[in-house]
């Protein structure tokens, strides 16, 4: 079973590249017309030249979205731990002050 793994991986990459090439809009294809890329992927897929060429040179790559995760440096949102967040600490202080005003005995 393990000896078939490389064949299955090549087949999976070939199919993925073919479907990706078909689903890519014409204006996002670089270098050659889309039809030419489809033929390249199909004809040279068994030796991985076609799919690798498609992924490297055939498709316009988009930059990843910025600021959507708290872990991205320089993004819109930055994660701050609750004990370092001044707004959170102020809300805790406000809740404590409210409890003291409502219950003057301190029970």
Query: Smallest Cα–Cα separation from 48: which of 5, 6, 4, 3?
Result: 6
pLDDT tens digits, 87-99: 888 998 999 988 8
Whole-prediction pTM: 0.56
pLDDT tens digits, 26-61: 888 888 899 999 999 989 877 888 888 988 888 877
pLDDT tens digits, 16-26: 999 999 999 88
For residue 78, how far is the Cα from the chain centroid?
A: 18
φ and ψ at residue 74, rounded to 5 degrees = 75, 10
């Amino acid at each position: 079973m393990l000896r078939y793994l490389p064949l299955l991986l090549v087949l999976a990459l070939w199919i993925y590249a073919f479907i990706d090439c078909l689903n890519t809009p014409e204006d996002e294809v670089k270098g050659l017309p889309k039809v030419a890329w489809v033929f390249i992927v199909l004809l040279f897929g068994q030796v991985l030249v076609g799919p690798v060429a498609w992924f490297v040179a055939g498709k316009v790559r988009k930059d990843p979205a910025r600021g959507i995760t708290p872990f991205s440096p320089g993004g819109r949102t930055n994660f701050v731990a609750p004990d370092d967040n001044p707004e959170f600490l102020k809300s805790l202080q406000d809740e404590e002050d409210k409890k003291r005003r409502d219950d003057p005995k301190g029970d």
